[in-house]
Structure 1
């Protein structure tokens, strides 16, 4: 027997199709990545991420800055802006491009890969100017995520590949004698291997040891005790040298 009275009709919301679900998952993932990469001052929003996914808009940035500007710098202008010479920069670019930190893209399509030279110059510009990733990215035609990844790649390259060969304490006796003699010619004080002021350098201002990671301002003597070289000082300065 059929029930008497008005029949209740239940309304169900339509289930989202697979395309909509995939789109929402992708947007959510991109938003999480963006929050990890971009600091709180970023103007990135969900709408901007959605624009990136659904239809990429070209952001206005400087084109050909390296080709049209940097390559025409005089040596003095280059060093003023990057704090290192052009010859040293070219050496670093060659080493970086051949390292495992710079991976040459083996597929075609999309934007052209940013060359190793731009990676190095962008990093040096950031380090010399104390500016922001966003500003450097605009100058060197890199999006914010590309600039972030570039910075970390070059930083790892410098710390892991270059620093061990460039920043090192003298081990051989003849090296120590050359440095000590140079200091004696400057100040008349014998057997000096280096000067301490947060770092250790020899008479020509080349770093012999660098130690970072101590917060705030503390005395140089405490920095030395905390550093790696401080724990090996007796053997490093043997048999007659001092800092």
Structure 2
């Protein structure tokens, strides 16, 4: 697959993909499916999971594309997501807590947007989902579809500083903010 095609399908460059594999593969579980039966290759889990996250393709199609059943892919995706969250959330998504970090960000915002005294940009996004069986009305948002909400905070370089995800689509932005880790941070 050509590099441009790879990026189009996986939504990241081949070098970023290789870096991600090196970072997370040691943390993925290798299922033992029985005597003499080999579980999924780690790369297969990463490939299939990234393909799903980039395309939203259904589990059956991904299973066919990457040579695994739907339920096997479901477990592989869950494992992949758990590793991403546990490995990167605490390590890579960190709110600034020193005066020098805060000064760097405020200077960055002042330089790029000519806005003084800003240390973050915050917004929310609705991630479409199928209507859940339990409490579907809670997930129906004001835009007319079922969703969960992602609240994200970035710095002047568009690096994530905080995320909060999972609230039902009908939840007001202010409620999500007040219940997020961001609201607890004292600067």
TM-score w.r.t. length of structure 2: 0.77
Q: 1:147 deviation in Å?
A: 0.6
Structure with greater proportional strand content = 2
1:228 matched to which residue of 2? 181
The alignment partner of 1:196 has SS state of strand
Partner residue in 2 for 1:89: 17
Counterpart of 1:196 in structure 2 is 122
- SS where residue 77 of structure 2 aligns? helix
Flag the structure with larger Rg: 1
* 1:63-89 Cα deviation digits (max 9, x unpaired): xxxxxxxxx231x22221111222222
Deviation at residue 222 of structure 1 after TM alignment: 3.2
Q: Does 1:154 align with 2:80?
A: yes
Match of 1:109 in 2: 36
Are 2:50 and 1:121 aligned?
Answer: no
1:158-207: CA deviation from partner (whole Å, max 9, x where unpaired) = 11112211111111222111111111011211221110112111112111
> Which residue pairs with 2:109 in the alignment?
183
SS in 1 for 2:162: strand
CA RMSD of aligned residues (A): 2.1
Compared CA separation, residues 130 and 228, structure 1 to 2 (3 A) = same
Structure 1 stretches of at least 4 aligned residues deviating more than 4 Å after TM superposition: 104-108
Gaps of 5+ in 1: 1-71, 239-243
Deviations along 1:35-54, one digit per CA (max 9) or x if unpaired, are: xxxxxxxxxxxxxxxxxxxx
Query: TM (normalized to structure 1)?
Result: 0.60
1:205 aligned to which of 158, 165, 176:
158
3-state SS of paired residue (1:208): strand
- The 1-side partners of 2:171 and 2:31 are apart by 44
